[in-house]
Each structure stands twice: as structure tokens, then as C-alpha cells.
Structure 1
Amino acid sequence: MLKFLSDPQLWLALGFILLILEVTSFSFFFLFIGAAALLTSLATWLGLLPSMAWQLVFFGVSSLILLVTLRKWLKNKFNHKAEERKGYVEFIGNPVEIIKDVPAEGEGRINYRGSEWIAISIDGVPIEKGTPAFIHHMDGIKVYVTTAKQ
């Protein structure tokens, strides 16, 4: 390919470039493509992939395998942690008083610790005034409520 780089060096450079791109994108796409390039570099260096055709096939297959098997899991893991950090976790499960009906889609009002808050039903079902409800999570000035005790 490039005369001044051997095939393993080329794949190694591509892998590091893709990993650096991942740092700027946070999409977990370049991470796995970069990892596949690094695996291809290693396999080529070990002499397992003598031709560029085999290297490209190995790179493509390993990219797909890594993307399909690990990307969704890793995104969910990071998104789940972000949700856990999302505001006021110490209030989760606390009872609230519904003071204005909370529709299935839309906003109602609750009273919590002497203050009125915007309430949204997390279950997608309407919650009538006076129905016992509990905090599922809070996001800014909105309280997501459920009728199920957590």
C-alpha cells in the first residue's frame, strides 16, 4: 500500500486515528472500528493475514462482530449510568400528592415538600388528582411520577 509503512504499521496507524476520532464523537462507532483495525494489525504482524485482501476481509468481519455484539451493550451501560446520575436521585420513590390530573401524554401538577412541581406520567397512563403516586426520577423542574411504589 504505502511504501514507507508496512501493512501492520498501516493498520496500527489507522486504529489509533479511529480511536482518537472516538474521543471527539462519543458514539462508540469509531471505538470498535479502531479496535478492529488494531486486531487486523496484530493478526497481520503475526503473519496470519499475508495479503491485503485477507486483511480487508478480517477487518470488515471483526468490525461487524465488534459493532453488533458490543456497541449496544456499551451505549446502554453508559446511558444507564447517566440516568442514574440524573438529578435528585435521593428523592426517587418518595410519595407525592397529585394536585392536578397528570394525563397519559402531557403535564399535570404535584405537591412535593410544600412546593408545586410539573409532573409527567412515566407509565404513559393518566393519574387522577388524589391518586397515590411516587417519584420515578426528576429532570430539572419536571418530576416523572408513577403509581407503582419503587
Structure 2
Amino acid sequence: MSYLKHILIAAAVLVSILTATTTYAYTTVPEEMIPEDAAEPDMSAVTPVTEGDVTYLTGGIGKAESVAMRGNAKNYALEIVFVEKSGALEEYLSEVKLQIIDSSKNTVLDIDTQGPYFLANLPQGKYQVSAEYNGVVKTQLVSVSKKKHSKLIFWWRMAE
């Protein structure tokens, strides 16, 4: 009987681990997370900014701007999305402190985002991307190349 009990416990642990990792494994933002306050793509409020060798867009507040940012993502080497999660509820974030550091430890960009999407054309190379929201810093590494679009999603758990 204890052998069966151990198998059931191991199966339950495996299911919970698989559930936890698949929750964060996808790299696309589900359509239901896009706000429904507008229908037509509109990039008029979002203007590309150039700082040094980096040209970027930040925005995506409202459905129109969000759809436009998503549609424009293919024109940029790097796409980043910021999301807060509480149980099954997921919300986009803005005003995330974003810092990008190159492989030589030089700060390439240090900004506060204006919406849940950040699109950038950076020189080809490897970067450390740090995002801070509500005092919690998340860091990911990314390789940027002209041949491949890279996408990062930063997730924070909502404080309960």
C-alpha cells in the first residue's frame, strides 16, 4: 500500500511542476489579455526613439495601440512584454524600469516603459535585460541578431 501511496505523491508533484512550468512557457501573449477599448491599430501615440545605436518603441496601452505594437514587432530585432499574474488573471504592465546591458557591461539603455510592449533594434550581440516593477527585479539574457526576431516576456506575481 505504501508503494502505491509514493507513486501517487510523485505523480501529484510531477503534475504540479508541469502545470507551473507550462503556465510560463509560452512566448505569445494570449488574445484575451488585449484590452477591448478600441479596435483599429493606431501608432499615432507611439513614436520611435533613438538613443545612441538603439531605436525603440514603448507603448501598447489600449487595444488599438496594443494591436499596432504587436503588428509592428516584426520590424524590430527585440520584443519585450511585461505581465503581472495572479492565479488565472493576467494584466499588462507599464512604467516598468528597463535596463539593457551589453556583453562588455556597458549600459545600452535605461528607461521607464510607457506600456506593456517594448520593441527595439539593437546592434547584434548578447545582452542582459533587467526589468523592475514594484521593487522586484527580473533579469533575462538575450541574443540579438539581424536574422532572428527575439522575444522576452517578463512575469511578476501580483502581491496578495
TM range, normalised to the smaller chain?
under 0.3
Greater share of helix residues, 1 or 2? 1
Q: Under a length normalisation based on structure 1, what TM-score does the superposition of the two structures give?
A: 0.27
Instruction: Tell me which structure has the larger Cα radius of gyration.
Output: 1
- Structure with bigger strand share is 2
Q: With structure 2 as the length reference, what TM-score do the two structures score?
A: 0.26
- Structure scoring higher RCO (CA < 8 A, sep ≥ 6) equals 2
